[in-house]
Structure 1
Amino acid sequence: MPKMKTKSSAKKRFKVSANGRVIAAQAGKRHGMIKRTNKFIRKARGTQVLSKPDEKIVKRTMMPYAR
């Protein structure tokens, strides 16, 4: 069997933590920040850990060797 390929888009967007959880940048911060509340902007700093179902999709199909 040939090796499976890692999706290039996933390589750039996701990182796997030491515990095996998938870390991604916070969504919804590219534009239109004037409409957002200050509370949203504060909470959306940095990165977030993906939910279990999303994590499963990323690990299984997009990044097969990042386990």
Structure 2
Amino acid sequence: MPKVKTNAGAKKRFKLTGTGKVKRKHAFKNHILTKKSTKRKRGLVKMALVHESDMNRVRDLLNI
């Protein structure tokens, strides 16, 4: 029986916390930053948690 592989895109985008929650980065922080306010960009830098409704989908991709 072959091993189950972790989704390569998901392992680059998500990190696990100590309590088992999944951290993610915010979107809209890569380009076209001149029209976005400094306050908005600063908020997008912080990590966020994956929403509960998406948690099962992410866990399947990470095989956890």
Given the two structures, how large is their TM-score scaled by the length of structure 1?
0.80
Matches of residues 8-23 of structure 1 in structure 2 within 5 Å?
A: 8-23=8-23
Q: Deviations over 1:13-50 (max 9, x none)?
A: 11111111111122110001111122211211231111
Gaps of at least 5 residues in structure 1 are: none
User: Identity over aligned residues, as a percent?
Assistant: 33
Structure number with higher helix proportion: 2
Q: Mark the runs of 5 or more structure 2 residues left unpaired by the alignment.
A: none
Name the amino acid aligned to 1:39.
K
Find the aligned partners of 1:33 and 1:58 in 2 and give their Cα distance: 28
Q: For the residues of structure 2 that align with 1:2 and 1:20, how far apart are their CA atoms?
A: 26
| TM-aligned CA deviation for residue 3 of structure 1 | 3.0
Q: Which runs of 4+ in 1 moved over 3 A?
A: none
1:5-44 map, 5 Å: 5-44=5-44
What is the CA–CA distance in structure 1 between the aligned matches of 2:37 and 2:21, rounded to whole Å? 29
